[in-house]
Amino acid sequence: MRTRVGIIGAGPAGLMLSHLLHLEGIDSIILESRSRAYIEGRIRAGLIEHWARDLLIETGVGERMQRESLFHHGLHFCFDGELHHIDFQKLIGKGVTVYGQQEVIKDLVARRLADGGQILFDVSDVAVHDVLGASPRITFSHHGAPQELTCDFIGGCDGFHGICRPSIPAGVLTFYDREYPFGWVGILSESPPADDELIYSHHERGFALYTMRSPSLARLYLQCAPDEDIDNWPERRIWDELHARLAGTRTLKEGKIVDKLLTAMRSFVVEPMQYGRLFLAGDSAHIQPPTGAKGMNLALADVMVLARAITAHVRTGRNDLLERYSQTCLRRVWKAQRFSWWMTQIFHLHPADNAFDRKRQLAELAYVVSSEAASISLAENYVGLPVEA
Ligand code: APR
Ligand code: PHB
Per CATH, the homologous superfamily of domain 181-264+351-383 is: D-Amino Acid Oxidase, subunit A, domain 2 (3.30.9.10)
How far is the C-alpha of 153 from the C-alpha of 213, rounded, in Å?
A: 36
pLDDT for 73 equals: 98
Please choose from 20, 31, 33 the residue to mutate so as to test ligand 1's pocket, defined by most ligand atoms within 8 A of CB.
33
Q: What pTM value is reported for the model?
A: 0.97
Q: Which residues are catalytic?
A: 72, 200, 290, 294, 382
CB of 19 sitting under 6 A from ligand 2: no
Q: How big is the chain by its Cα radius of gyration, in Å?
A: 21
Residues 15-21, mean pLDDT to the nearest whole number: 98
Angle formed at CA 9 by CA 7 and CA 10, multiple of 5 degrees: 105
Query: Which-ligand-closest: CA of 101?
Result: 1
pLDDT for 226 equals: 94
CA of 158 to the centre of ligand 1 (A): 4
CA of 281 to the centre of ligand 1 (A): 10
Whether the predicted pLDDT of 203 surpasses 90: yes
Q: Which residues contact 320 (CB under 8 A, 6 or more apart)?
A: 312
Most distant CA pair in the chain, distance: 62
For 84-141, write each residue's pLDDT tens digit: 999 999 999 999 999 999 999 999 999 999 999 999 999 999 999 999 999 999 999 9
CB of 47 sitting under 6 A from ligand 2: yes
What single-letter amino acid sits at 205?
Answer: R
Closest atom of ligand 2 to 44 CA is 3
Q: Which of 161, 118, 123 is nearest to 139 (CA)?
A: 123
CB of 290 sitting under 6 A from ligand 2: yes
Whether the predicted pLDDT of 52 surpasses 80: yes
Whose Cα sits closest to atom 29 in ligand 1? 296
pLDDT for 80 equals: 93
CB of 219 sitting under 6 A from ligand 2: yes
Residues 134-156, mean pLDDT to the nearest whole number: 98
Whose Cα sits closest to atom 32 in ligand 1? 295
Q: Does domain 5-73+94-176+266-346 have CATH number 3.50.50.60?
A: yes
pLDDT category, 149, cuts 50, 70, 90? very high
Whose Cα sits closest to atom 33 in ligand 1? 295
How far is the C-alpha of 133 from the C-alpha of 256, rounded, in Å?
A: 54
Q: Which of 242, 246, 178, 255 is nearest to 214 (CA)?
A: 255
How far is the C-alpha of 297 from the C-alpha of 51, rounded, in Å?
A: 9
Query: Which-ligand-closest: CA of 217?
Result: 2
Phi, psi for 90 (deg, rounded to 5): -70, -35
State the chain's mean pLDDT as an integer.
96
CATH 3.30.9.10 domain position(s) in the chain: 181-264+351-383
pLDDT for 70 equals: 95
Q: How far is CA 329 from CA 9, 323, 333, 379, in A?
A: 19, 12, 6, 21
How far is the C-alpha of 94 from the C-alpha of 382, rounded, in Å?
A: 10
CA of 40 to the centre of ligand 2 (A): 18
CB of 74 sitting under 6 A from ligand 2: no
CA of 93 to the centre of ligand 1 (A): 32
Whether the predicted pLDDT of 148 surpasses 90: yes
CATH 3.50.50.60 domain position(s) in the chain: 5-73+94-176+266-346
Residues 152-172, mean pLDDT to the nearest whole number: 98
How far is the C-alpha of 196 from the C-alpha of 189, rounded, in Å?
A: 16
